[in-house]
Amino acid sequence: MKQVLWLFRWILKAAIFFTLFAFALNNQHDASVFFFFGTQWRAPMVLIVLGAFAIGLTLGVLGMVPRWWRERSLARRAQAAAAAAQKNSDTATTPVALPPHGI
């Protein structure tokens, strides 16, 4: 079963790659992106699409950084509280209330 899933994933990755490769080959003509104050950027269409994708990916990651930091600090506090509770209770095992984890 694992091998079938592995093969399916590679076939899916190959299909996505060849689709994007065909897209790049079919969009080699120059295109213009017009910015403010009359400035423009002329480049092949595939580079413009790739640039827009990279900018969107970067903005998405930067938007998630504060939440990642907050979740990381909550996890550290929960681990510290669990370690302290385990250290303090030699005979009795009491559950430690962890902070809620919302996604």
Which tens digit of pLDDT belongs to each residue from 2-19? Answer: 888 889 999 999 998 888
Residue 91 lies in a domain: no
Q: How far apart are CA 10 and CA 26, in angstroms?
A: 24
Residue 43 lies in a domain: yes
Which residues span the domain enclosing 12? Answer: 2-70
Cβ proximity of 80 and 99 under 8 Å: no
Residue 39 lies in a domain: yes
Residue 27 lies in a domain: yes
Cβ proximity of 96 and 77 under 8 Å: no
Q: How many domains does the chain have?
A: 1
DSSP three-state, residue 1? coil
DSSP three-state, residue 44? strand
Residue 92 has pLDDT above 70, yes or no: no
Residues 6+ away with beta carbon under 8 Å from 86: none
Residue 51 lies in a domain: yes
Q: What is the pLDDT of residue 65?
A: 93
pTM for this predicted structure: 0.52
